[in-house]
Chain A
Amino acid sequence: GAVVSQHPSRVICKSGTSVKIECRSLDFQATTMFWYRQFPKQSLMLMATSNEGSKATYEQGVEKDKFLINHASLTLSTLTVTSAHPEDSSFYICSASTLRQGSQFFGPGTRLTVL
């Protein structure tokens, strides 16, 4: 149980385009989803926290107009990187949790490369 999927696993895009990453909880309803960013050889940095049906809460320094997060249902959250630039290239990981479980369950990650 507690499986989280991400799609796509890898994406390459041109500078200036937008990319959408999906995060799904497959066998449970996630009241909260988290989006992280991980640069090579570094730890995970929390970008934002989203609760189903409400606006995401962004961490300091994360541009909310650039990283659009939607959590429209209890099983799906999306992260859209708008007007992507090479410096946005990174590994993006989502996680999902429920009020009852408390623990976060992580997706496999999405490798974004912006040319």
Chain B
Amino acid sequence: AQSVTQLGSHVSVSEGALVLLRCNYSSSVPPYLFWYVQYPNQGLQLLLKYTSAATLVKGINGFEAEFKKSETSFHLTKPSAHMSDAAEYFCAVSGSARQLTFGSGTQLTVLP
């Protein structure tokens, strides 16, 4: 069984500041981990995924995430926030069945 915990349902950062969205997972098998972004009334867009290769994963739009097995974490970061980054972000975990289990989501607000 898998589960995901996203700490902080709302995160606000100033434009140009570091973005850090936290995700901790639980999995009984080696996990695949994902970050998705959702804009209002739209589906999900894949930002990046970890599939047991490099622990530091680079994604689209300047985002990256680091898989830390010892901490069971997969936090999402971006060095400099842009106004267009404002959206809902979901962390997800997948096991051998390829079904995704999503976290509760983090709403990112970027302040001018």
Q: Could you say which of B36, B42, B44, B98 contacts A102, with CB atoms under 8 Å apart?
A: B98
Are the C-beta atoms of A32 and B98 separated by less than 8 Å? yes
By size class, the interface of chain A is 20 to 34
Q: Could you say which of B44, B49, B105 contacts A106, with CB atoms under 8 Å apart?
A: B44
**Which residues of B lie under 8 Å from residue A111 when comparing CB positions?**
41
Q: Could you say which of B36, B42, B46, B99 contacts A34, with CB atoms under 8 Å apart?
A: B99
Total B residues in contact with A, Cβ cutoff 8 Å: 20
Q: Could you say which of B34, B42, B99 contacts A46, with CB atoms under 8 Å apart?
A: B99
Q: In the assembly, what is the distance between CA of A95 and CA of B34, in Å? A: 14
| Cβ distance A1 to chain B, nearest Cβ, rounded Å | 12
Q: A8 in the interface, Cβ–Cβ < 8 Å?
A: no
**Which residues of B lie under 8 Å from residue A34 when comparing CB positions?**
99-100
Cβ proximity bits A97-115 to B, threshold 8 Å, 1 near / 0 not: 1000011111111010000
**Which residues of B lie under 8 Å from residue A108 when comparing CB positions?**
42-43
Cβ proximity bits B87-106 to A, threshold 8 Å, 1 near / 0 not: 00010000000111111110
Other contacts beyond A4-B43, A102-B51: 16, CB < 8 A: A43-B102, A43-B105, A44-B100, A44-B102, A46-B99, A49-B99, A93-B43, A95-B100, A102-B98, A103-B34, A106-B46, A107-B43, A108-B42, A108-B43, A109-B42, A111-B41
9 smallest beta-carbon distances between A and B, as pairs: A106-B43, A106-B44, A108-B43, A43-B102, A109-B43, A43-B104, A44-B102, A43-B105, A107-B43
* B interface list, Cβ under 8 A from A: 32, 34, 36, 41-46, 49, 51, 90, 98-105
